[in-house]
Amino acid sequence: MKKVAIFASGNGSNFQALAEASLRKELNADICLLVCDQPEAYVVKRARHLGIPVFSFRAKEYPSKEAFENEIALELAKRGVEWIILAGYMRLIGSTLLNRYRNRIVNIHPSLLPAFPGKDAIGQALDAGVKVTGVTIHFVDEGMDTGPIIAQQSVNILAEDTRETLQKKIQAVEHELYPKTINELLDE
Ligand code: GRF
């Protein structure tokens, strides 16, 4: 089984979905670390509850992205991490990690990329008035949500949808699609 680290910054529902799939032996990966740039985030509590080790840090305590990514890289190397799974990690990955994990970093984004990259993709879709949005899983490169697409699934936007109902539908898709896609990717 491939060793993976999950990077997250906030709530962590995707982290939870992956960890639960792993507990059910339905994930072809060993989640050996949560990396979190917000030590108070709820995802940290989820990890502690599940007994998954956490490396948390505050970016502002480091002189540069390179400095904190070097420390992350050490933590990953210590545990033999082979793949990085981003799940709501609100930072661009820098060259330190990209060079070490080239083509082995994946991200999930709540829109059908290349539509609505960046922050608040769900709000962007609602504001644009599109009738279909969805979820994209892609490899991470230097850009913001720009790397090669691995998997996508659409979600219809109905007239009665609000931000809350749409977010719920998108997250339900994410929680199924992410473990499934990671299994396919890591089996290769
Ligand atoms: C997800 O919608 C994901 O697509 C995006 O950030 C959100 C994280 O949600 N990258 P959660 O923290 O996993 O609940």
Please name each of the domains of the chain with its CATH number. Answer: 2-186 (3.40.50.170)
Instruction: Give the chain's length.
Output: 188
| CB 76, CB 5: distance < 8 Å | yes
Q: How far away, in angstroms, is 18 Cα from ligand 1 center?
A: 12
Those residues whose C-beta lies under 8 Å from the C-beta of residue 159, and which sit 6 or more positions away, are none
**The predicted structure's pLDDT at residue 187:** 85
Residues 144-148 have a mean pLDDT of 95
Report residue 61 CA to chain centroid gap. 23
- pTM score of the predicted model: 0.97
Is 156 among the annotated ligand-binding positions?
Answer: no
pLDDT over threshold 70, residue 188: no
Q: Where are the beta strands (DSSP E) in the chain?
A: 2-8, 29-36, 54-56, 83-86, 105-109, 132-139, 149-156
174 lines ligand 1 (CB under 6 A): yes
Which residues 6+ apart lie within 8 Å of 118 measured at CB? 124, 144, 145
- Does the active-site annotation cover 109? yes
The distance of Cα 166 from the centroid of its chain, to the nearest Å, equals 19
Check whether 122 is labelled as a binding-site residue.
Answer: no
Burial of 127 (C-beta count, 10 Å sphere; 0-12/13-18/19+): exposed
pLDDT at 172: 98
- What is the overall mean pLDDT for the chain? 97
Distance 118 CA to ligand 1 centre (A): 12
Asked if residue 133 lies in contact with residue 154, where contact means CB atoms within 8 angstroms, the answer is yes
Please compute the mean of the pLDDT values over residues 48-67 and round it to a whole number.
98
Residue 170 labelled as part of a binding site: no
If residue 163 lies in a helix (H) or strand (E), which one and from where to where?
A: helix 163-187
Distance 87 CA to ligand 1 centre (A): 6
Calculate mean pLDDT across residues 19-26. Answer: 94
Q: What is the pLDDT of residue 55?
A: 98
Asked if 3 and 80 count as a contact pair (C-beta separation under 8 A), the reply is yes
Cβ-in-10-Å burial (0-12, 13-18, 19+) of 40 comes to exposed
